[in-house]
Amino acid sequence: MQSVKVPTSRDYQEYLINSLKDPERAAGYITAILEEPDPEPELLALALDDVAIALGGEGDRQWVKDFGASGKIQAVYELAAWLDSLGLKLTVTVKP
């Protein structure tokens, strides 16, 4: 009997980037990361990079890299937590 390799799924990263080309999905993706109960700054940096790949360019990816290296991502989570304490929510939406 001959063994045949059949791909069972598409590359996940390729699928993710293609799905994030839809701005509504990209916004939802970032919002979901911001709503994590146990935030991980590295996860937000990865999500922002995914969106930069899907919707932006190399300059956008460099911005994400610089933003992550500056420690500002933790400030985003602190802002989200503060807003939450006031009964508000930090979200990302698509510009009209």
* pLDDT (tens digit per residue) in 1-51: 566 555 555 688 899 999 999 999 999 999 999 998 888 889 999 999 999
Token pair, residue 34, equals 């911001």
Residue 2 lies inside a defined structural domain of this protein? no
* Number of domains composing the chain: 1
Alpha carbon distance 49, 41 (integer Å): 12
Question: Rounded to two decimals, what is the model's pTM?
Answer: 0.82
CB 34 within 8 A of CB 90: yes
Structural domain harbouring 62: 14-85
Alpha carbon distance 79, 74 (integer Å): 9
Residue 30 lies inside a defined structural domain of this protein? yes
Residue 59 lies inside a defined structural domain of this protein? yes
Residue 33 lies inside a defined structural domain of this protein? yes
